[in-house]
A and B are shown apart, each in its own frame.
Chain A
Amino acid sequence: MEKVIEIKNLTKVFKNGRGITDINLDIHRGEIFGFLGPNGSGKTTTMKIMTGLMKPDSGDVKILGHSVLEDFEKAMEKVGCIIETAESYPYLTAYENLKQFSRYYKNVDDDRINEVLELTGIIKYKNEKPRKFSLGMKQRLGIAAAILSKPEVIILDEPLNGLDVEGMLDMRNLIKSLAERENTTFFISSHLIHDVELTCTHIGILYNGKLLNVDTTRNILNNYASLENYFVSEVETNGKV
């Protein structure tokens, strides 16, 4: 299968000693990869390096064969993402925010903007400014922005933050249908272990900045009663609990 994301020897250590050390990971087309780990384990740091918001101390990330360090534009051309929090310009309407992003891509017109607003359930707030939005609505707008250009790779850091139950279900269905219908590859970080279990096809566990193990959800559930058990077992095996 075609490698879509290649992470090689990625290391980034902050002054306080936290960070990530020697992460190696390959993600293939159509996979929904769940990046599991407790707070401060280095999930967001990894994703920030993947999207050019941070530079690593060493190592590299290639997306669709292009290095984010050497050929950023090409690497990000077919990537949509939400990192840490879904941000939008508070003085622009939801439509104007998406219009700003759409200008970077050739295939995005007003119909596509309306389509993603419809898909994420915020079409009726199209002409409202996000400063009046709830956290969940801001998150939906962030997801609309991430999927706007029909990207081949979508990187989502805690995509379910602030969403209600209905929103979580919608989002899970949206992720699954994009992966099935359009073969979109997802890289999702979450601390909601149950949701990762229901959504992701592959799971990697990050603990104290180190990648402990990567396996398919099917394999894990064949060997363990739940993903939670697997997580605890992996962490214990590596002598951390």
Chain B
Amino acid sequence: MGRFKTALINEIEKLYKRKKLVVALIISFIIIILGQLIILGVNRGFGIRGVGSMEFPMLVLSVVVNTILPLFTALVAIDSFSGEFSNNTMKIALTRPVTRLKFFTAKITAILLFVLFNLLFVMVLSTLAGLIFNANSFTLRGVIDIIVSYLVTLLPMLVLTLVIVVFTNILRSGVGVFFLSIFVFIILKALGMVFSRYSGILFTSMLDWYKLFTISPLPILKIANKFSMMVGYVIILFTTGYYLFDKKEF
């Protein structure tokens, strides 16, 4: 456990120093401000009610979870694996007293912490923006919905991260992985729309699963179904990713 912790601290430091986190936070900030300005414009210009203060963070989440969050997750995952493969820096840590399993898990955990931090940042900022610019008042149920929705989004993002990590361990080029990830993402989204009956099994449709947590009464069976599906994906993808990583020679 000690060696895993060390590898995790090192990965977090590397992630922080590469400035990707700062860029992600700045872009998230701009999107929230732009979103809020558009809503204000619609509200004042056309007299149409945009969203209430409780709905704004959820609106932001629905945009972020399908756009910049997968994009930055992909960039960070590609940097963490393909970047280190091509710069030949992967061997720096691999020749230290830490097993590949711990090192691989530390890398995934660091990416996941990046996603979590980004989600929490967007949540706090969009909640504040919603509170300042929109008229409706907050309710406790609303606040809980927001927190739960943002937190549960971490699970589909883990699936997405692992898909990209598997790609990074198959393809040599980081650019190749990036375009393949975008291609697969778009194809799966399109398939989900065309064959909506079967969209439930595609992980891209699971990015919106947080909406299930805002329904009253809570659709427990549907949540359990999606949760099991995602856990299944995580187990398969983690095992595949680790198998490929462990077989790699440097």
Tell me the A residues contacting B by CB distance below 8 Å. 48, 51-55, 72-74, 76-77, 79, 81, 83-85, 87-92, 96, 100-101, 103-104, 145
- Once the chains bind, are A92 and B92 in contact (CB under 8 Å)? no
The answer to whether B9 has its CB under 8 Å from any CB of chain A is yes
- Once the chains bind, are B87 and A76 in contact (CB under 8 Å)? no
Q: Tell me which residues across on chain B come within 8 A of A83, comparing CB atoms.
A: 91, 95
Q: Tell me which residues across on chain B come within 8 A of A87, comparing CB atoms.
A: 87-89, 91-92
| Sample of 14 A–B contacts (CB below 8 Å) | A51-B95, A53-B94, A53-B95, A72-B99, A77-B97, A81-B95, A84-B91, A87-B88, A87-B91, A87-B92, A89-B89, A90-B87, A96-B13, A145-B92
The count of chain B contact residues (Cβ–Cβ below 8 Å) is 24
Contact with A along B1-18 (1 / 0, CB 8 A): 001001001100110011
Q: Known contacts A103-B10, A104-B3; is A52 also within 8 Å of B95 by CB? A: yes
Contact among B13, B14, B98, B247 for A73, CB-based, below 8 A? B98
- State in angstroms the CA–CA spacing of A83 and B96 once bound together: 12
State which residues 209-250 of B face A: CB under 8 Å: 247, 249-250
Q: Known contacts A87-B89, A92-B14, A96-B13; is A48 also within 8 Å of B250 by CB? A: yes
Least Cβ–Cβ distance between B180 and chain A, in angstroms: 25
Q: Tell me which residues across on chain A come within 8 A of B94, comparing CB atoms.
A: 52-53
Tell me the B residues contacting A by CB distance below 8 Å. 3, 6, 9-10, 13-14, 17-18, 87-89, 91-100, 247, 249-250
- Once the chains bind, are B3 and A73 in contact (CB under 8 Å)? yes
Q: Known contacts A54-B250, A103-B6, A103-B10; is A96 also within 8 Å of B92 by CB? A: no
- Once the chains bind, are B249 and A54 in contact (CB under 8 Å)? yes
- State in angstroms the CA–CA spacing of A76 and B98 once bound together: 8
- Once the chains bind, are A53 and B250 in contact (CB under 8 Å)? yes
Interface SS of A by simple majority? loop
Q: Tell me which residues across on chain A come within 8 A of B91, comparing CB atoms.
A: 53, 83-84, 87
Q: Known contacts A53-B249, A89-B89, A103-B6; is A76 also within 8 Å of B95 by CB? A: yes
- Once the chains bind, are A101 and B96 in contact (CB under 8 Å)? yes
Q: Tell me which residues across on chain A come within 8 A of B247, comparing CB atoms.
A: 55
